Amino acid sequence: MHPSPEASGPVDSETLFKRHAAFVASFLYRLGARESEIDDLVQDVFLSAHRKGGYAPGPASPTTFLARLALEARLAKRRNESRWRRNQREDVALATVGTRPQDPSGAFAEKLATMKLQRALEAIEPGRRAVFVLFELVGESCESIAAGLGLRVGTVHSRLHAARKAFRAHVARTQDKDDPLPVLGSKEEIR
Amino acid sequence: MTTEPIRLVDHVGLSGEERSLLEAGRSRPPFDYDVNRGFTRFQATLAAAALTTVAATSAKAGSGLFARSALLAKLGTKVLVTVAVAAGAATAIHFASVRRAPSPARTASAVHSPTPAPKLIGAIATSASATSRDAPPTQPDAVGAPPTTKSESGFPAAPGEHHEAHRAKREGAPLAMSAEAAPAIPDIDVHLDDEGSASAPSESVIDRAASPASPPTPTPVPTAKAAVVPKTPPAPPKRAVKPSPSVVAAEIQGIAKARDLVSRDPRAALAVLSDLGKQYPNGYFVEERRALTILALAGAGDGAHAQSAATRFVRDYPEGPFTDRIRALAGTPRPRAP
């Protein structure tokens, strides 16, 4: 996943949706949003972009511009939630999760890696996680991340450093454990 | 300028597990979001929001119509009160002029003037306010006339008239006048209550009413016609008061279609708007149609027509919901609040 080259002019919200909805959904997932709420959050993000008049060219790329809106939407959603129950994570049939045909043999490995990565990401504090995802997984530049999230470049560097440290520590901690699928969360959360 | 950090996946000392996780994260999204279905929902949300905006605009326009009706009713009351007061004043001054020989100047200005009504209105209003100001607080009704702070016609009393009224008051004329005009008083009371000026007037208010600088427009030459029909701001074009629901729905559909086309295909939007204008020349969404037409003209590159249409639009709807945008488009600044 790399940032797509964007036209130099402004981009309206509908075009943004077509080009970047998948990224926003993935980003929200990696921020810890439940799958059942991701479509609502995606709609919120692009409605917010629509209200802002779409994307205007600048130091922030469309991806980092939308990442900030996604962060805000996620925070607003969490504020409204009474409690986040991770054990209900997989309980809703998702209207907008696609049914892309997959190779059964490769699907499991991919799913496993995705889950392990998600566990590692959840070990990172959310503000740092957003920077980590945008830089390491999406491939955005620090300057674009700083412009999109409204941070200084130095802050992006320090958050990235801290996020990497947490990521690597988590991987090192769980590398030898043969339990790659604890997706339901800790026992405390289940109770 | 700071250097960009090396991506973690490109680090030499990365473990295989770390690398595989990062590569997995870079290669595929964590789950498959159905963009087409999401986009359909997004479009529906946008369309609903657009319709909500149109409905809110209509409601606002409806309330504006209501407010205009209330204003007209208020103005009508003012006219009635004005006529009643003028009649009472004319009668009283006539009695006063019969009772004692008037000076030629006074006769010319107050009695034999070909257009006596507005001057008399100004005189009587000022006279009444001066009387109540001079009256002791314990006897507010001693003069028999309600206190008022400004000319009921809406015109400030000229200084000469003010003086004239004082003189008439000293001569006892207003007292007789007020007694004569008693039947018209209840209307005046109600009006004054509505205006919130039923309390004793202050000097500054009276001075403002008498000052030529107080009205926003130059003081017109008072005539009988002007006294009966106060000047009102130009009324915006009329909307249909009670269109049938089906007509409104059809008009809304046309407006929504035009709105959808304005940014993508302004010429097609213009065609739709032109048809709308023919079908509903006095429809419920004239303001929206005109605003969209200006945007479409601007989008189609017809700057001259857009500019003239925008000027007319801003003149007709100075406080409309689209006016700021049209002003910005036309480059006309918003007038400062007084």
| From A136, A142, A175, residue closest to B17, measured CB to CB | A175
Nearest to B209 by CA among B113, B140, B123, B144: B123
What is the gyration radius of the CA atoms in chain B, in angstroms? 33
Whether residues B312 and B168 fall in one domain: no
B219: pLDDT strictly greater than 70: no
The gap between the terminal CA atoms of chain A, to the nearest Å, is: 36
- Give the orientation angle of helix A142-149 with respect to helix A62-80, to 10 degrees: 40
HSE toward the beta carbon, residue A155, CA cutoff 13 A: 12
Q: In this prediction, what percent of chain B has a pLDDT beyond 70?
A: 40
State which of A116-125, B9-18, B19-28, B246-255 shows the largest mean pLDDT: A116-125
Host domain of residue A55:
13-85+105-190
* Domain stops at, among B162, B197, B228: B228
Contact list in B for residue A120 (CB cut-off 8 A) is 21
> Residue B330: pLDDT above 50?
yes
Does some domain include residue B285?
yes
Contacts of B72 (CB under 8 A, 6+ apart): none
Q: Are B310 and B294 in contact (CB under 8 A)?
A: yes
pLDDT averaged over chain A?
78
Nearest to B154 by CA among B211, B205, B88, B209: B209
The answer to whether B118 and B226 are in contact (CB under 8 A) is yes
Residue B326 backbone phi and psi in degrees, to 5: -65, -40
Please count the residue pairs, one from chain A and one from chain B, whose beta carbons lie less than 8 angstroms apart.
126
* CA atoms of B90 and B85, how far apart (whole Å): 8
Beta bridge pairs of residue B216:
none
- Look up residue B305 and give its two tokens: 């027509």
Instruction: Give the pLDDT score at B131.
Output: 37
Which of these three, B180, B198, B228, is where a domain ends?
Answer: B228
Identify the pLDDT of residue B101.
43
List CB contacts of B142: < 8 A, sequence separation 6 or more: B135, B136
Is B210 a member of any domain?
A: yes
Whether B188 maps to a domain, the answer reads yes
Q: Has residue B3 been placed in a domain? A: no
Within this chain, do residues B160 and B224 fall inside the same structural domain, yes or no?
A: yes
**Residue after which a domain boundary falls, among B173, B200, B228:** B228
Same domain, B202 and B248: no
The DSSP code sequence of B297-325 is HHHTT-HHHHHHHHHHHHHH-TT-TTHHH
Could you tell me if residue B147 is inside a domain?
yes
> The whole model's pTM is what?
0.43
Please identify which residue in the block is written with the tokens 């000022």.
B126
Q: What is the pLDDT of residues B17-29, one digit of tens each?
A: 888 888 888 887 7
- Whether residue B99 lies inside any domain: the answer is yes
Residue B45 and residue A47 in contact, taking contact as beta carbons nearer than 8 Å: yes
Range of the domain at B124: 72-228
DSSP B146-191: ---SS-TTSSPPPHHHHHHHHHHHHTTHHHHHHHHTGGGHHHHHHH
Cα B82 from Cα B123, distance rounded (Å): 12
Dump pLDDT digits (tens) for B68-120.
Answer: 555 555 555 555 555 555 555 555 555 444 444 444 444 333 334 333 333 33
d(CA B2, CA A179): 41
What is this model's ipTM?
0.73
Mean of pLDDT values over B125-150: 38
In angstroms, the CA B273 to CA B279 distance is 10
Distance from the Cα of residue B230 to its chain's centroid: 16
Residue B167 and residue B284 in one domain: no
Instruction: Evaluate whether residue A34 is within a structural domain.
Output: yes
Give CA–CA dist A160/A165, Å, rounded.
Answer: 9
Query: Is the Cβ pair B25, A168 closer than 8 Å?
Result: no
Let me know if residue B37 belongs to a domain: no
Contact B38 A39 (CB under 8 A): yes
Closest A-chain CA to B49:
A47
The pLDDT assigned to A16 comes to 92
- Contact present, A148 and A138 (Cβ < 8 Å): no
Q: Which one, of B96, B109, B97, B227, lies nearest residue B159 by Cα?
A: B109
Q: Looking up tokens 């998948």, which residue turns up?
A: A22
Q: What is the pLDDT of residues A172-190, one digit of tens each?
A: 887 765 443 343 344 444 3
User: Can you give the CATH number for the domain in which A113 is found?
Assistant: 1.20.140.160
> How many distinct structural domains can be found in chain B?
2
- Closest to A73 measured CA to CA, from A1, A8, A24, A113: A24
Residues of B with CB under 8 A from a CB of A: 2, 4-5, 7-9, 15, 17-18, 20-22, 24-35, 37-39, 41-43, 45-46, 49, 263
Candidates B31, B37, B46, B260, partner chain A, best to mutate (most A CBs within 10 A): B31
User: Inter-chain contact A26–B7, Cβ cutoff 8 Å?
Assistant: no
Q: How many domains does chain A divide into?
A: 1
Q: Is residue B57 part of a domain?
A: no
Residues B109 and B195 in one domain: yes
Q: Is the dihedral of CA B51, B56, B62, B65 positive or negative?
A: negative
Q: Among partner residues B4, B15, B22, which is closest to A141 by beta-carbon distance?
A: B4
Q: What is the largest CA-CA distance in chain A?
A: 51
> Do A97 and B33 make contact, defined as CB atoms within 8 angstroms?
yes
Residues B146 and B290 in one domain: no
Of A42, A77, A9, residue with least CA distance to B40? A42
Q: Are B140 and B147 in contact (CB under 8 A)?
A: yes
Distance CA B305, CA B311 (A): 10
Interface test with B, best of A114, A165, A183 (most B CBs within 10 A): A114
